């Protein structure tokens, strides 16, 4: 199976108000990738994601996109960190998911019957079909995650980016989520940010460790020595032959 490059960062530095948060990042992403992004709080994980999404403009370096023309109207699906979502925004579950299909033409056009059916099918599959008409302000954290995951994947993106999807999610949905992602990875590249890679290390194929700089490991196994040399306050534990990586507690 071919595995084309879809995205490349070359010596990218970015941040806010002139301050550098991520520095000299070079990274290639391919269509079959399933990358776990780890690192302590405030390390710049979300900043890296926002840079890839073009929500912030790099100070220096270059980002190249190689998405296939006509394949998806929204080539990157994005699940933001839930604590950044405005719950007071007066919009229903169904509308949030539908908004994942918005593009330039749709701003004046109505959604088709086929699109609405696709949304319904996905919501049922994610078990939020029963709350389709609820305003998002009334949802639990776990329900919010599912709603925004549906929104991120409804356009069949080429790259799906999830920022801390396991926050607020109950254990049952967490393992379900990773099974869903594993399935989606047959069709799209996935980047999943987590400060707790315990569960994800057995699902992801590679690991990027962020701490101002990005260290990319072309494997889902990472040694304690490697982590120490990157100043990542993360500790490895092993159950049987499956390595688990967990975050040590740290200040701030
Ligand atoms: N919008 C912003 N304006 C200014 N500084 C920010 C902004 N967002 C994040 N930062 C700062 O950038 C640093 C990295 O933040 P972030 O990328 O959110 O880290 P992480 O996702 O790894 O926890 C933090 O010190 C944070 O305070
Ligand atoms: Mg973050």
Question: Nearest ligand, CA of residue 48?
Answer: 1
Least confident interval from 56-65, 132-141, 155-164, 169-178: 169-178
Helix (H) or strand (E) holding 26: strand 19-30
> For residue 84, is pLDDT > 60?
yes
| Ligand 1 neighbour 80 (Cβ under 6 A) | no
Q: How far is the CA of 46 from the centre of ligand 1 (A)?
A: 7
CB atoms within 10 A of CB 105: 8
Domains of the chain: 5-85+158-247 (3.40.50.300)
Q: Mind listing the pLDDT tens digit for each residue in 97-114? A: 988 887 656 666 788 899
- Nearest residue (by CA) to ligand 1, atom 2, is 16
Q: In the predicted model, what is the mean pLDDT of residues 124-146? A: 90
Both structure tokens of 3: 């595995």
Cα–Cα distance for residue pair 188/75, rounded to 1 Å: 10
């Amino acid at each position: 199976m071919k595995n084309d490059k879809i995205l490349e960062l070359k010596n990218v530095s970015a941040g806010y108000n002139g301050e550098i948060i991520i520095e000299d990042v070079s990274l290639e992403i391919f269509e079959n990738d399933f990358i776990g992004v780890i690192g302590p709080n405030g390390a710049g994980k979300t900043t890296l994601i926002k840079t890839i999404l073009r929500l912030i403009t790099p100070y220096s370096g270059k980002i190249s996109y190689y998405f296939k023309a006509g394949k998806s109207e929204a080539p990157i699906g994005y699940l933001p960190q839930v604590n950044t979502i405005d719950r007071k925004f007066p919009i229903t579950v169904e509308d949030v998911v539908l908004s994942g299909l918005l593009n330039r033409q749709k701003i004046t056009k109505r959604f088709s019957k086929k699109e609405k059916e696709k949304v319904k099918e996905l919501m049922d599959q994610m078990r939020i079909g029963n709350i389709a008409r609820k305003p998002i302000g009334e949802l639990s954290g776990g329900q919010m995650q599912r709603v925004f995951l549906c929104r991120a994947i409804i356009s069949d993106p080429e790259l799906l980016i999830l920022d801390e999807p396991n926050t607020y999610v109950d254990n049952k949905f967490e393992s379900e989520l990773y099974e869903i992602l594993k399935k989606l990875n047959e069709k799209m590249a996935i980047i999943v940010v987590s400060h707790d890679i315990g569960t994800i290390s057995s699902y992801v194929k590679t690991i990027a460790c962020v701490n101002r700089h990005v260290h990319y490991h072309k494997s889902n196994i990472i040694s304690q020595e490697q982590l120490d040399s990157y100043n990542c306050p993360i500790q490895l534990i092993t159950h049987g032959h499956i390595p688990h990586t967990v975050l040590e507690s740290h200040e701030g």
